Amino acid sequence: MVSRVIPVEPFDLVIFGGTGDLARRKILPGLYRRFLAGQMPAEARIIGAARSEMSDDDYRASIRAAIGEFVAKPKQDAATIAAFLERLRYVAIDATGDAGWDRLQEITRKDVIQAFYFSVAPTLFGPLAERLHQKGIACETCRIVVEKPFGRDLASARALNATLAEHFHERQIYRIDHYLGKETVQNLMAVRFGNILFEPLWNAQYVDHIQITVAETVGVGGRGAYYDKAGAMRDMVQNHLMQLLCLIAMEPPARFDPDAVRDEKVKVIRALDPVAPEEIVRGQYQANGREPGYREDAENPESLTESFVALRLHVSNWRWKGTPFYLRTGKKLKARTSEIAVVFKDPPHSIFGPQENRRGNVLAIKLQPNEGMTLRVTIKEPGPGGMRLVEVPLDMSFAEALGPNGTDIPDAYERLVMDVIRGNQTLFMRGDEVEAAWAWADPVIAGWEERGDRPFPYDPGSSGPEEAQILMHRDGRRWREIRE
């Protein structure tokens, strides 16, 4: 199978924060891979922008090093790297001052697609939008890409949306949630809406419950100062897990176009019931003698911030009334994995009589580390001795099914940046979507803050606090094993 790569139109992409961690680790290596794939036209230019003074050549040298570090060795082709670096420029600029803006105005071309990536601290999103406008750099067709976090509550998200809206139309604003750029997430829509098989069963009548797990093995590491003010709910649930929930729960959009898809996602968020205190479990990893605990990592001995959260949610609409959605995410857990599991109900009647340890059908959608899907089905256990049933997975791992194209999956960032250049907003969050998610999350967070809830301790390398297991057991269900 040969993959089709359609080159995008010529563009100038300005990366504010072009020397930062995200730019070096994800954005520029991703752009290099797209260049290698032949998707970036010869006239494309990437302009790094940050306060540090450096020449174009210094910048190219630092990005050469980043490609050496963050691109897989077989993809590091010397001639292609040299040609890619030729596309790079650098402008020293201050997002909050006047330095550098005239130079940026001078070098950005008006006759190509212009995109401005805000890969800087969130406090600079507003000032950058203002300056791009005031300095006459932004035009009616240019695009801005806004990183996460988008606000820390409804009020701040609304304020940021209002500031951006003063200078840009909604069709120009690309709010990144890199989970939406993952191949499997898009595949989820292909599986749901490209097959007749699943959609008739995709409702409360046939689905017992849904589990969404995003587990990390790392702690808060160097991000302690930011994370301690955010916690798992703000950092992961309000955005990434909520987006996954929307894609699972939404109605089929009339067309696969940005507003049709995003309209359906917003409806899901608005249909969420308030979460009762007994439906939330917050956890914090504790020191175990070998590894530091969260409080040491975050350098806050009194911290009540959660590094783990598990919730039971209900989507109150015709399709989902009665089917709970269980979400959990945490740091320092036993394995790094992101997975959605749609757990179907048992058949209404077993013609085979009582069967022990029956587990029923599950569609498991794996987002990382190995993207793919498995469908667990029941078959007869081979051999004589009567009708014993056994569950086996129907495996749809992309690597096996699609050959080289199945393993060569673009990173989420490279796909999303190319979507910005193509002008496709489907995989980006709309302003009202972000606000709806905060409107849901705010009272949940306010609730535990008012009650002074303390997070339950859990051991690094475990599956989270015991109370999260109980959340499921109470309903006669259990979490799937956290494993790669």
Q: Binding residues for ligand NAP, per CB under 6 A?
A: 16-23, 50-52, 93-96, 119-122, 124, 147-148
Residue type, 40: M
With H, G, I as helix, E, B as strand and everything else as coil, classify residue 244.
helix
Report residue 363 as tokens. 């569609």
Shortest separation between residue 36's beta carbon and ligand NAP, angstroms = 22
Report residue 68 as tokens. 């050496």
Taking the C-alpha atoms of residue 124 and residue 117, their distance in angstroms, rounded to an integer, is 12
- Which residues lie across from 178 on neighbouring strands? none
Taking the C-alpha atoms of residue 403 and residue 182, their distance in angstroms, rounded to an integer, is 18
Residue 274: Cβ within 10 Å count: 11
Question: CB neighbours of 144 closer than 8 A, spacing ≥ 6?
Answer: 115, 116, 117, 118, 128, 129, 132, 138, 164, 168, 172, 173, 174
Question: Which CB sits closer to ligand NAP, 20 or 406?
Answer: 20
Residue 240 to residues 221, 243, 282, 309, 464, Cα–Cα distance (Å): 20, 5, 17, 13, 19
Taking the C-alpha atoms of residue 371 and residue 398, their distance in angstroms, rounded to an integer, is 7
Question: Which CB sits closer to ligand NAP, 23 or 40?
Answer: 23
Report residue 282 as tokens. 């917050």
Shortest separation between residue 126's beta carbon and ligand NAP, angstroms = 12
Residue 336: Cβ within 10 Å count: 15
Shortest separation between residue 97's beta carbon and ligand NAP, angstroms = 7
Question: Which CB sits closer to ligand NAP, 50 or 210?
Answer: 50
Taking the C-alpha atoms of residue 330 and residue 336, their distance in angstroms, rounded to an integer, is 10
Shortest separation between residue 99's beta carbon and ligand NAP, angstroms = 9
Shortest separation between residue 141's beta carbon and ligand NAP, angstroms = 24
Closest residue to bound ligand NAP by CB? 20
Listing DSSP states for 191-231 in one string gives: HHHH-SSSGGG-STTTEEEEEEEEE-S--SGGGHHHHHHHH
Half-sphere exposure of 235 (CA within 13 A, CB side): 23
Shortest separation between residue 25's beta carbon and ligand NAP, angstroms = 6
Question: Which CB sits closer to ligand NAP, 181 or 460?
Answer: 181
Question: CB neighbours of 347 closer than 8 A, spacing ≥ 6?
Answer: none
Question: Which CB sits closer to ligand NAP, 24 or 34?
Answer: 24
Question: CB neighbours of 117 closer than 8 A, spacing ≥ 6?
Answer: 13, 14, 15, 16, 17, 27, 144, 145, 147, 417, 420
Please identify which of the residues 178, 240, 349, 473 carries the catalytic annotation.
Answer: 240
Taking the C-alpha atoms of residue 177 and residue 156, their distance in angstroms, rounded to an integer, is 18
**Contact by Cβ (8 Å): 469, 463:** yes
Taking the C-alpha atoms of residue 92 and residue 86, their distance in angstroms, rounded to an integer, is 18
Shortest separation between residue 416's beta carbon and ligand NAP, angstroms = 12
Shortest separation between residue 145's beta carbon and ligand NAP, angstroms = 10
Residue type, 288: N
Question: Which CB sits closer to ligand NAP, 68 or 97?
Answer: 97
Taking the C-alpha atoms of residue 364 and residue 352, their distance in angstroms, rounded to an integer, is 26
Active site residue 178: no
- Within its chain, how far is the Cα of 313 from the centroid? 19
Question: Which CB sits closer to ligand NAP, 16 or 285?
Answer: 16
Shortest separation between residue 50's beta carbon and ligand NAP, angstroms = 3
Taking the C-alpha atoms of residue 196 and residue 482, their distance in angstroms, rounded to an integer, is 30
Question: Which CB sits closer to ligand NAP, 94 or 432?
Answer: 94
Question: Which CB sits closer to ligand NAP, 25 or 171?
Answer: 25
Residues identified as active-site: 240
